[in-house]
């Protein structure tokens, strides 16, 4: 078991956008992040599959010393958060969800677009979010199949990526939305392409900072005072791929290792790399 830490997980690398905000809000906290990249993206999996993976990762993080959990994945939150809280009612679990409420408040014309995975948009939790909004607001839900998978591959400037963003934002432009919600934690990494496609007059809403503030208020007091700040990234997929992405996307020191191997890693620049992942 490691030192007590804040556990974080996502279907892959998208949750690193939340991890960045968590590091800002919990500067002294040990962070342990699991990227379930061997099973990503969750948005293309069945509910039963996502729930099973979420349960397994939750148990793993608890065995590694987690004192609380941040689900840095909209799909996993939508599908599994209720069951996880029922299974571990005393364990603090913080999820992410599309920021529809702040988007409606920020919108000037009352037309808000939500970019999310098909699984998130089809979920009961998303339908509840939609029903809770003002009757005067028009919410345009835009499923983005394949976008999270492209981001997972790590090349954010490819022609294929630009084409996918253009395809998924076109219906929102046609609908005249003035505010767009990023309803998947992968999407902030292509925010620049979304902004470019939507134009300068469209606001982009990302809830990572709000989630991190909530996590700070909920979890910081549960960590021992002698806890030492650290960031460990584990993956069920390719360790070298996660190391490359973390080096490019994160600005703080971290260690990368496979989920089943806690062997010491040798430093490589800002991020350290451990042996190849276990099956």
Active site positions, annotated: 73, 184
Check the annotation: does 43 bind a ligand: yes
Check the annotation: does 185 bind a ligand: yes
Check the annotation: does 186 bind a ligand: yes
Of the candidates 57, 55, 101, the one whose C-alpha atom is nearest the C-alpha of residue 82 is: 55
Tell me the C-alpha distance between 156 and 68, whole Å: 31
Exposed, middle or buried by CB within 10 Å (0-12, 13-18, 19+), for 258? buried
Check the annotation: does 74 bind a ligand: yes
Tell me the C-alpha distance between 56 and 43, whole Å: 18
Query: In Å, what is the CA distance from 160 to each residue of 39, 143, 153, 155, 198?
Result: 22, 17, 11, 9, 18
Check the annotation: does 217 bind a ligand: no
**Binding residue ranges for substrate:** 10-11, 42-43, 74-75, 185-186
**Binding residue ranges:** 10-11, 42-43, 74-75, 185-186
């Amino acid at each position: 078991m490691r030192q007590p830490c804040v556990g974080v997980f996502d279907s892959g690398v998208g949750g690193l956008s939340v991890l960045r905000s968590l590091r800002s809000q919990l500067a002294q906290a040990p962070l342990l992040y699991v990227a379930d990249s061997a099973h990503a993206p969750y948005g293309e999996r069945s509910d039963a599959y996502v729930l099973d993976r979420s349960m397994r990762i939750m148990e793993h993080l608890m065995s590694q010393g987690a004192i609380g959990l941040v689900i840095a994945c909209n799909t996993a939150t939508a599908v599994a958060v209720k069951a996880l809280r029922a299974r571990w009612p005393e364990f603090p679990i913080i999820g992410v969800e599309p920021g529809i409420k702040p988007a409606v408040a920020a919108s000037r014309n009352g037309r808000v677009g939500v970019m999310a995975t098909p699984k998130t948009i089809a979920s009961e939790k998303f339908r509840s979010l939609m029903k809770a909004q003002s009757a005067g607001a028009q919410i345009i839900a835009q499923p983005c199949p394949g976008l999270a998978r492209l981001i997972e591959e790590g090349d954010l400037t490819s022609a294929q990526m630009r084409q996918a963003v253009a395809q998924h934002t076109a219906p929102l432009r046609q609908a005249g939305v003035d505010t767009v919600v990023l309803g998947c934690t992968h999407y902030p990494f292509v925010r620049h392409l979304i902004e470019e496609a939507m134009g300068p007059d469209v606001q982009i809403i990302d809830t990572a900072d709000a989630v991190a503030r909530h996590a700070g208020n909920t979890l910081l007091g549960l960590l021992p005072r002698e806890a030492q700040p650290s960031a460990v990234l584990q993956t069920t997929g390719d360790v070298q791929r996660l190391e490359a992405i973390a080096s490019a996307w994160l600005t703080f020191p971290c260690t990368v290792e496979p989920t089943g191997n806690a062997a010491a890693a040798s430093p490589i620049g800002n991020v350290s790399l451990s042996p190849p992942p276990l099956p």
